[in-house]
Amino acid sequence: MSAPATAPSCPEPSARTGAAVLFDVLNDLGVEVIFGHTGGAVIPLHVELNKRMRRGEPVPRFVLCRQEGGAGHAAEGYARASGRIGVALATSGPGATNLTTPIADAYKDSVPTVFITGQVPSFAIGTDAFQEVDTVGLTRPISKHNYLIKDVADLEWSLREAFHLAGSGRPGPVVVDICKDVQLAVVDQGNRPRARHRPAIAFDHRRADAILDALAAAERPVIKAGGGIIHAGASAALCRLAERFDVPVTTTFNALGAVPDTFPYNLGMPGMHGSIPANYALREADLILTLGGRFDDRVAVKDFAKGKRIAHVDIDPSEIDKTVKTDLAVVAKLDDFLAYALGSGREARHPDWIARVEDWRTQMPLPYEDGEYIKPQAVIEALSELTGGEATLVTGVGQHQMWAAQYYRFRRPRQWISSGGLGTMGFGLPAAVGAWYGNPDHPLLLVDGDGSFQMNIQELGTVVANRIPVKMFVLNNSFLGMVRQWEDMMDDGHHYETCLARQHDCDPGCIELDQSCRRQLPNLTGLRLVYPRLKTLRVRAPAELGAALREALAHDGPVLVDVWVDKAENVLPMVPPGQRLEAMIES
């Protein structure tokens, strides 16, 4: 939705403190959950929250995370799973700086979020006061917009505008930094919203017609759908467009689930670790139509556009021609473009091209060989089958993330929750917390690696305290596996700071990826002593896998399963960095 020329209007308030204003606005906007941590600069907000709870007044649920970064990722997980705006709250200083990673993560992946931080009193700004940092300066390059509130009369309109900006246009994170004295101050009449000049970009029918004509006339067209399809709620319209024009569809990392795995035109994910049919189709296409996605370096590899026509539809004009020169482009909301396309009466058939693509589809996903050790791909395939492809699937970052993207059979939008553009290790566990509150109607799976899982392992406390029934599967290979895979490729298999086993176990045997190398997290099942309401399992052999997965999925509370996978397994296919799609390694 395009932002209006002026910010949303504020209702006439009675005398209220800044803290009361904040919760009145959150209630009015329908905010259901806040993820956060407390601290000195936000105590007035927590006091107001608890007063309202004691009086039995409606307030958002506050989920106390164990660290502010975890709270920020939980807000992301909530937004990604629900389509609503995720909210995180933290104190000043280290509370705000701990939020910078989730803010940057939300910015890279266009996640609608509002991050509320406390700040030292307005009269103390610039004095190096205790826990003072320039939150606005820190977050300016990694947020869609940010505010420093030094006058309580500016608080209400700023909050309302912040939520509007976070969810409209191209979504993204907005930061609201509120001085402590503002939270305590009383306001009788708030200031009016600032006038904003945001002229809407008119839908250009001529440009849209040119793209549709090119799509119909092309001999080998491909649609590259990005995460904007999910943000726009346009998945069903995209499928109808593919059927109408007889065009195969690739879905980028952030768009997984936008097209069901069973949809006959779906080719899967393109790019560095994309599927064979998706990458082959992009390589051989004569027209690539990108809908709501960036041409990032993991997909738009060397000579990506050579010999092809490139068409691009996006709500953000800054993405047009940003990295890949387009031949045809239109700035528009995707639901508007797709509605226009479907209402235009145009259609096309590409039987020879579809037949060629069907041959490649037999190679999706890449087969793997069973062996003495558990294959990570087998874990994902089993989880997909046991959940019917309906679970909300959250991951950390690393090899396990790519296997999850490749081997889970996605059926719906908003079921894939993973850090894309920033590639944030430690994202998975706290994001799963938020995803549960965002969509508790589907089973919730976390697939993580032993390296990524440990980065925010403290959020197990949040899981257990709130009895979140997430099923956690740690694919434990005792390595920072993706970096280890790159070391194999770039340094002849010499491994340095990537072995997560105890240091004296990282001997030449470990460098040779000897399976007898001691595993990381050797006392993982002992976590039940710390968290008695957490069920823990360990699986070491392929014959044990099926029963362990079924036991975990059947449990009615949180479960942590330590799965010892083949540490020598690599993510394939792979397009080496800086290479063309033709250089893809398949085995």
The catalytic residue positions are: 68, 130-131, 180, 482
Q: First CA to last CA across the chain, in angstroms?
A: 45
Tell me how crowded residue 244 is: count the other CB atoms within 10 A of its CB: 18
**DSSP per residue over 173-189, as a string?**
EEEEEEEHHHHH-EESS
Tell me the three state secondary structure of residue 466.
Answer: coil
H-only helix segments in 344-387:
351-361, 376-386
Q: How many residues does the chain have?
A: 587
DSSP assignments along 153-168, one per residue? GGHHHHHHHHHHHHHS
Task: Find tokens 């569809």 and name the residue.
Answer: 249
| Pair of tokens at residue 6 | 């002026």
3-state secondary structure 191-238: CCCCECCCCCCCCCHHHHHHHHHHHHHCCCEEEEECCHHHHCCCHHHH
CA–CA distance, 108 with 106 (Å, rounded to integer): 6
Q: How far are the Cα atoms of 262, 384, 522 from residue 268, in angstroms, in the given order? A: 11, 15, 36
Residue 61 host element (H or E) = strand 61-64
> Which phi and psi angles does 107 have, rounded to 5°?
-65, -45
| Range list of H helices, 59-124 | 68-82, 94-98, 100-108
Q: Which amino acid is at 121?
A: P
Task: Please provide residue 470's backbone torsions phi and psi, each rounded to the nearest 5 degrees.
Answer: -80, 140
Tokens of 321: 């021609």
The long-range contacts involving 347-350, CB below 8 angstroms and separated by at least 24 positions, are 347/216, 347/244, 347/245, 347/246, 348/215, 348/216, 348/217, 348/244, 348/245, 348/246, 348/247, 349/246, 350/218, 350/219, 350/220, 350/221, 350/246, 350/247
Q: State whether residue 316 is helix, strand or coil.
A: coil
With 0-12 CB in 10 A as exposed, 13-18 as middle and 19+ as buried, what is 202?
exposed
Residues 337, 243, 306: CA angle, nearest 5 degrees: 70
Amino acid at 497: E
Query: What amino acid occupies position 418?
Result: S
